[in-house]
Amino acid sequence: MRALTLVIMILAFLVGGTCAGILFKNIENRMGTDGDSEKTEEVYRLVDNAQKEIEKLKKQGIDVTKVEDPQIQESLELIESTPPKWKVDYAGKLGILAAVFALVMLVVAFMKKALVTKLSLVVVAVSVLLWISTPDIEAGTFSGANPKSIATIALVGLIVASACAFMSYKLHLKKLQATS
C-alpha cells in the first residue's frame, strides 16, 4: 500500500510541481514582457500614469465611465486588464518555492523521516498562497493558458502529493508497529 501512495505522490508531484514551477513564465507571457524587467516596469508606469489621469478627471467631477473619449476608455481598459504588481512579482516566486518544498518533501518521504508531516503541511500552505496570489490575466493573442488555471492544477497536484507523502509515512509507522 505504501508503494502505491509513493507512486501517486510522484505522479502528483510531477504535475503539480511542473505547473507551479513554470507559472512565472506563463505570467510573463500573459503580461507581454517575456521576462524583461524593464518592460514590466514600463507597463506599470503606464498604469500609474493612467490612474493619475483618471483621478484628475474624477476630481474635476467628470464621470469617466460615461465619457466617449477613446484615450480615457483605453486608460480604463489598461487599468482593468493589468493585475496588481505584487501579484505578478510574488506568484512566480511562490510557484518556484512550492516546487522546491514539494521536491524536498518527496525526498524526505522516501527517507521515511517524521519531517515529512511538517513538510506536507508547508507544501499545502505555500500552494494555497500561490493560488491566492496568482493573477487572473485575460487571454492575449499568443499567451497560452490562464495563470489562475495553472495555479489551480498546481494546487490540486501538490495537495494530492502532500496527502500521499503524509499517508506514506503513516503507513510506514503502522508497519513498524505491526512488526514490533
Q: pTM of the prediction?
A: 0.80
10 Å Cβ neighbour count for 34?
Answer: 10
Calculate ∠ Cα 92-11-177, nearest 5°: 115
Domain locations in the chain as residue ranges: 2-35+84-179
Three-class SS state of 144: coil
Span 86-136, pLDDT tens digits: 888 888 889 999 999 999 999 999 998 889 999 999 999 999 999 999 988
Span 54-93, pLDDT tens digits: 888 888 887 777 777 778 788 888 787 788 888 888 888 8
Distance CA 39, CA 75 (A): 18
Give the helix ranges, DSSP H, for the chain.
Answer: 2-31, 37-59, 70-81, 85-111, 115-133, 147-179
